[in-house]
Structure 1
């Protein structure tokens, strides 16, 4: 074993150093890598680096001697059956060599958890073009009960670029919601810090005091797009930060909980005469495409929201086709 120097590829742009090592040396533990960085044995362009250092194409990573893996290889993933292949492929509304965009149905979890075996992440192998391609990666998440756009990357490098765009707020996200009541004023910014109470499936997000040390800054834009008197309204929502359940709690804080919300809003969120499911839909993504320019994609409303729009006389209009600019 000897010291080697590896060059960061274009596909590895903006990837963290620890994730770069995980890709090239999957048997190296995080603790062992931290020790190598702390003692200066790992260097980037000749300089000491932290495990969180983000890499750029062309940089040289000094890799000290690393013992061969002794742990067994993980078992191969079970092939998807035809039903699951049809399900995941039926969600695709845009795809190219670098990204995939899904329209996720309401009620389908993005990832697994206690008692959850059927979820988007378990079906991603069905979106590979070739068997030896990398497994597509989730770039962000939306709630189980929320329908709409979910962005995937075809390679780890593309995933890192897109994750950086989300962190830098270069991605414009628009959600549509039907809420109980009518906000006043008809548009504005909700500036309410949030905090998480509890852990696991029973955890709740709540409005927090600005003095609370656990409070997280949270901003959401809203606009009333149509209303049925003061009974129900159609809102356009844009989260400017990315807190768990942010839009749901911010709508509740406005005094207009989202129709059918099973977790927030209490009895007010469940008026009679409407489908009792969460009426929150990730409608549009406008993001920098990894190959240049921007990609704008919109997702059709789910059936339960279309029915509510019909009942209330709201007109969503035609859904624009995906476009690259």
Structure 2
């Protein structure tokens, strides 16, 4: 500052003309100076305390939507648009609401940490880190790190951990089917909510933060959802980048299926495959097929409850919007008692898609689905099977944590539980793909990314029903 004041004209002390070159040099130097996070003039409440949430360093190769398309063999990563600070925050933090992100930029609470390049006017400081405010539309360069106030994560992160005992932590960890640096996959038990809400004390998103974080700096994040009463394969991302890529893969599966309705979907390459098992009442007319039926939400007369229904030409005027839904199915086994085991492959991801398609399109509601198959359950009669009494009578009844009750609910009960289970999922190996993408010298072809095959054992009530109907698992 003293140097700058010396160059400014002084009406009474000197008539020396301004040195514009030197003045410009000093001003430019001040705009590029390295500003530590403890600089009180920038943000006394934020930077002085060092309370920043650092996003992953910017890498042009890490574009979740393009990565998911290249994995499916549909796009090239060379076709990129310039990435702004806003786009990078949205890509790294898919769980943050857009309104909050825009507010942070509007209030100038977002920073960018970058390295001073060589060849600048401040050559002596080349290689040092500088922190500056950044606008939403500012382009970012390779290696730049975006910093958000840590309060943004605290105010919106619904995955705040909860207090768990050692037994509870071990119970959740025993659900693991697979774990690597990019994701954790668990076998969700029936009766446990995936997300928190009104009246929900325990949910997997919060439990995962406490029980499945391990030594990772970031908590696991949900990639998709399962109904509370269903079970099976559930995927969580372990970093913001891997979660964003997995989100894009799930979205690409849905949008890709809808845009290729007329094609033969069975032979089309899919980066993501999901297979559900369901025990239904009755038998479909055809042993296999493709269900293509749009779905829409209906609010019931009480104004609080809602359900999903099929949209057809007769009632299409009643709905302002609907979502196309596609499901492949095939019969696994039929029984003389009039029940059928189905394998269901959802090509889109709509709420209650499988339950509605089974009940309203195939006319075979899933056992234990009292929302969409209540009429069929009015005449429900449990199936007595004395031969299984000795097989399961020696299983000790344990008191499970989180209020779970996994005993009972098979077809020999008066009130069976929902028989819908995400049995299998095939996913690209995101951890390997990310390692190659973050290597500048790698020419890895994402379309040849290896797949991970995940299989979840049936829950106890479905396994008992399987045994009652006389099948060998």
Q: TM-score, normalised by structure 1?
A: 0.79
Shift of 1:7: 5.0
Q: Which has the higher strand share?
A: 1
Shift of 1:293: 1.3
Deviations along 1:122-162, whole A, 9 cap, x unmatched? 211211221x6210111100000101010011111110111
Partner of 2:427: 287
Shift of 1:8: 1.1
Within the candidate set 452, 457, 462, 1:300 is matched to 457
Deviations along 1:147-196, whole A, 9 cap, x unmatched? 10100111111101111111111310000000000001110011111111
Q: Which has the higher helix share?
A: 2
Q: Distance in 1 between matches of 2:238 and 2:458?
A: 26
Partner of 2:280: 179
Q: Distance in 2 between matches of 1:80 and 1:209?
A: 48
Worse-superposed segment, 91-100 or 74-83: 74-83
Q: Distance in 1 between matches of 2:364 and 2:214?
A: 44
Partner SS for 2:321? coil
Partner of 1:260: 368
Equivalent residues in 2 for 1:299-318 (5 A)?
299-316=456-473
Describe the shift of the 1:36–1:68 C-alpha distance in structure 2 as closer, same or farther (beyond 3 A): closer
1:277 aligns with 2:384: no
Q: Distance in 2 between matches of 1:33 and 1:98?
A: 28
Q: Distance in 2 between matches of 1:229 and 1:111?
A: 39
Equivalent residues in 2 for 1:115-154 (5 A)?
115-124=199-208, 125-130=210-215, 133-154=217-238
Within the candidate set 223, 244, 250, 2:330 is matched to 223
Q: In the alignment, is the contact (CA less than 8 A) between 1:182 and 1:230 conserved in 2?
A: no
Q: Distance in 1 between matches of 2:349 and 2:463?
A: 27
- Between the two proteins, the alignment pairs up a number of residues equal to 297
Worse-superposed segment, 141-150 or 257-266: 257-266
Equivalent residues in 2 for 1:1-325 (5 A)?
7-9=57-59, 13-14=63-64, 16-19=87-90, 29-32=100-103, 41-43=135-137, 45=139, 58=142, 77-124=161-208, 125-130=210-215, 133-169=217-253, 170-198=271-299, 202-209=305-312, 211=316, 212-229=319-336, 231-253=338-360, 254-269=362-377, 271-273=380-382, 274=411, 275=413, 276-290=416-430, 291=432, 292-316=449-473
Worse-superposed segment, 214-223 or 195-204: 195-204
Describe the shift of the 1:293–1:255 C-alpha distance in structure 2 as closer, same or farther (beyond 3 A): same
Deviations along 1:256-275, whole A, 9 cap, x unmatched? 00011131111314622114
Q: In the alignment, is the contact (CA less than 8 A) between 1:197 and 1:206 conserved in 2?
A: yes
Partner SS for 1:133? coil
Shift of 1:10: 8.0
Shift of 1:214: 1.6
Q: TM-score, normalised by structure 2?
A: 0.56
Gap regions ≥5 residues in structure 2: 1-29, 36-55, 66-86, 109-133, 254-270, 383-410, 433-448
RMSD: 3.6
Which structure: larger Rg?
2
Describe the shift of the 1:150–1:70 C-alpha distance in structure 2 as closer, same or farther (beyond 3 A): closer
Deviations along 1:78-120, whole A, 9 cap, x unmatched? 5422232022112111112221110011111101111001111
Gap regions ≥5 residues in structure 1: 47-56, 317-325
Describe the shift of the 1:314–1:34 C-alpha distance in structure 2 as closer, same or farther (beyond 3 A): farther
Q: In the alignment, is the contact (CA less than 8 A) between 1:284 and 1:299 conserved in 2?
A: yes
Partner of 2:401: none
Worse-superposed segment, 140-149 or 201-210: 201-210
